[in-house]
Each structure stands twice: as structure tokens, then as C-alpha cells.
Amino acid sequence: MDKSKRTPYFNRYFQTTTPRSIYSVVEGSQYRPCQNLSTTCQYKHVFEMEFYVTALDAEKTIKHIASIRLGSHNLEIETGRFNNVIRAQRICKLCNMNCVESEYHFLCICPAYSSLRRQYIHVSWPTLDKYYRLLSTKSNDCYINLANMLI
Ligand SMILES: [Zn+2]
């Protein structure tokens, strides 16, 4: 979809198909995310179209960013869900840290990706706060580098 058409499409879609009550539930304090979006809720606080959807040109880049933000990927944290593996046993198979292969582990911790991490996202001394800032940045360059790591 053409970049200039994304905002009108988003607005039209959500204004015509989403009941007003859903907005209030999502934006209200009663909102309880499903487990695979619990991380997303740590850095997404407003129900609106994300910066990267309109700021980036390449749809491929947008898809990679969206997949890691929304848990639509092949990391153990998600594939284990489909195979009925309990969350604590969805261990990364690429390193010996015996950690759950979450998005945070993949992007900020796992030594198997350290060279890609150094090349693209430059996260030293990883913390959850840095991870949340990485996924909610308003920088085109940060998102492009992140997408390059994900490709
Ligand atoms: Zn690992």
C-alpha cells in the first residue's frame, strides 16, 4: 500500500469497523492484554497507528518491525505456545544461557546474534527499558536498522 494512503486507510478502517466501546476498553485501565501481547503493552500506551507505519517507505521493513512488535515470528516464545510448551521451558536453542527465547532475549541478550546486534542496533548493557525504547522509537534510522537485523 502506498505510504500516503496508510493513514486514511487506518482511520477509515477503525472508524467504520470498530465500535466506540472498544476504543474505551483499550484505552481504559480495565484492558487486560492476552499473554503474547503483554510485552507490547509495556511500550504501547495509546491506541493509534504507530509511527513506523507512516514513516517508513518499504512495506517489507514495516512487516518485519510489526512482526517482532506483535509476536508474529518464529521465536520459541511463540512457537512453544502452539506446541503447548509451558512459557518457562521455551528455551533458546541457539545459546547456552538457558533463557526463554523471547523478543527481548533475541534482540538484546542472545550471544548468537551479538555481531548482528553490534552492526545494527547498538544495544550495550541491555535492559528492558532500552528494549522498550528500541521498539517504540520515533527514529526512521533505528527502525530501518532494526528491520535489517530481522531480515
Ligand atoms: Zn539465545
CA–centroid distance, 141 to ligand 1, in Å, is 26
CA–centroid distance, 102 to ligand 1, in Å, is 9
Q: Which residues surround ligand 1, an ion (CB under 5 A)?
A: 92, 94-95, 110
CA–centroid distance, 133 to ligand 1, in Å, is 21
Q: What is the number of other CB atoms lying within 10 angstroms of the CB of residue 117?
A: 20
pLDDT in tens, the chain (151 residues): 666 666 666 565 555 444 444 444 445 555 555 566 667 777 777 778 888 888 888 888 899 899 998 888 999 999 999 999 999 999 999 999 999 999 999 999 999 999 999 999 987 789 999 999 998 899 989 989 998 898 8
Our count of domains for the chain comes to 1
CA–centroid distance, 111 to ligand 1, in Å, is 6
Specify the pTM.
0.77
CA–centroid distance, 147 to ligand 1, in Å, is 19
CA–centroid distance, 150 to ligand 1, in Å, is 15
| Residue 112 and residue 30 in contact, taking contact as beta carbons nearer than 8 Å | no
| Residue 112 and residue 91 in contact, taking contact as beta carbons nearer than 8 Å | no
What's residue 41's pLDDT?
74
Owning domain of residue 78: 3-150
Q: How would you write the chain as a 3-class SS string? A: CCHHHHHHHHHHHHHHHCCHHHHHHHHCCCCCCCHHHCCHHHHCCCCCCCHHHHHCCCHHHHHHHHHHHHCCCCCHHHHHHHCCCCHHHCECCCCCCCCECCHHHHHHHCHHHHHHHHHHCCCCCCCHHHHHHHHCCCCHHHHHHHHHHHC
CA–centroid distance, 22 to ligand 1, in Å, is 37
